[in-house]
Amino acid sequence: MNKVLFLDLKSPYQELQTELDAAYRRVMESGWYILGEEVDSFEKDFSAFCQTKHCMGVANGLDALHLILRAYGIGEGDEVIVPSNTYIATWLAVSYVGARPIPIEPDPATFNIDSARIESAITPRTRAILVVHLYGQTVDMDAVLAIARRHNLKVIEDSAQAHGAAYKQKQAGALGDAAGWSFYPGKNLGAFGDAGAVTTNDDELAERIRTLRNYGSKVKYFNEVKGYNSRLDPLQAAFLRVKLKHLNGWNSRRKEIALQYLSSLSDLPELTLPHVPEWADPAWHVFVIRHAQRDALQKYLGENGIGTLIHYPIPPHLSEAYQDAGYGRGDFPLAENIAQTVLSIPIGPHLASHQTAQVISAIRAFHGK
């Protein structure tokens, strides 16, 4: 039996070995290993890609979100609207600055924050709406931005899953006041280690984040604020510059696979396929289906050599880490139901047609088709 990996991290290196090895040698021979030219160049390339004025490379995606909140002066006593259905990093960034994450349930069709539920959760302490373009599909941003404008709130995009995703022809990362990016190896644009970035059109925010990420100093040994060590590694910046040139092509291949899944599985009523609103151009970071017999389906696919994952099995409000928030089962039933029914099936730029065919026939066979 041929195995279909859920995530293939080796093929990108094999495809780009010559360029990546050259990038490695360039950095090693430069004698410069913190910030500098490679990081500057990647920041230019990535802000051009996102169509934003600024990009600041940081250590990882969680830091990117944390630094944005800190730079906006959000902290103790403040509230930040977050999705109830997300990876825990979104909530942790809010907790890091001492603010309180206020969870909002998703639209079950898109898995993304339900903008119709946001306004009733706003209080005098609310400072920002931290949206997540979950699974690579953008949030309905016009609705969120209209609410934010009415209440004078910042809109922050958690773009960790949305490299190359678009909303009404506009790039993720340029849709709100600031965006946090992760280049964790498994993301659509992934480094060979941890890496992250912030994009924004806000000059003042950009300046503050440049300072905060580097010990709170603009000039070496002159520390203006109690900053952090959260700098993008030049080696990772050099690798990311190589991979960025391939992102659009790789995303097109993801889309091809997604369309193939959507058309080949549409006659299975037990299975809910992803819904793509007309304004969305998803990056297809993951392809998430819903199924009442999710666990049985996952087991069956595993027995047939097909790797799957669950994004995510426990919603943040039920995780041990957030016990102190006092939430219980039933508090966010949509997020809980999603956690119990979702299954991510293999998708990626290096997945071959015979492999996607194998995934499709295994899912069909599970349903006796």
Ligand X SMILES: *Cc1c(COP(=O)(O)O)cnc(C)c1O
Neighbours of 266 (CB within 10 A): 10
Q: Output DSSP code: residue 274.
A: P
Determine, following the binding rule CB under 6 A, whether residue 86 of this chain makes contact with ligand X: yes
Determine, following the binding rule CB under 6 A, whether residue 286 of this chain makes contact with ligand X: no
Of these, 47, 90, 95, 356, which contacts ligand X (CB under 6 A)?
Answer: 90
Q: 196 to 255, contacts with ligand X by CB under 6 A? A: 196
**Mask: binding to ligand X, 118-147, rule CB under 6 A, as x and -?**
--------------x---------------
On the CB side of 183, CA atoms within 13 Å amount to: 29
Determine, following the binding rule CB under 6 A, whether residue 42 of this chain makes contact with ligand X: no
> In this complex, which beta carbon is closest to ligand X, that of residue 162 or of residue 271?
162
Q: Whole-number minimum distance, CB 285 to ligand X, in Å?
A: 8
Strands (E) located in the chain:
54-58, 79-83, 100-104, 126-132, 154-158, 166-167, 170-171, 178-182, 196-200, 217-219, 222-223, 271-272, 280-281, 287-291, 342-345
Q: Whole-number minimum distance, CB 143 to ligand X, in Å?
A: 20
Determine, following the binding rule CB under 6 A, whether residue 74 of this chain makes contact with ligand X: no
Determine, following the binding rule CB under 6 A, whether residue 61 of this chain makes contact with ligand X: yes
Q: Whole-number minimum distance, CB 198 to ligand X, in Å?
A: 12
Any residues with CB less than 8 A from the CB of 31 and at least 6 apart, and which?
none
Q: Whole-number minimum distance, CB 341 to ligand X, in Å?
A: 19
Any residues with CB less than 8 A from the CB of 304 and at least 6 apart, and which?
1, 362, 365
Contact call for residues 355 and 346 (beta carbons, < 8 A): yes
How far apart are alpha carbons 139 and 131 in whole angstroms?
7
Of these, 42, 46, 87, 111, which contacts ligand X (CB under 6 A)?
Answer: 87
Q: How big is the chain by its Cα radius of gyration, in Å? A: 21
Contact call for residues 319 and 345 (beta carbons, < 8 A): no
> In this complex, which beta carbon is closest to ligand X, that of residue 189 or of residue 363?
189
> In this complex, which beta carbon is closest to ligand X, that of residue 52 or of residue 60?
60
Sites of contact with ligand X (CB under 6 A): 60-62, 86-87, 89-90, 132, 158, 160-161, 182, 184, 194, 196
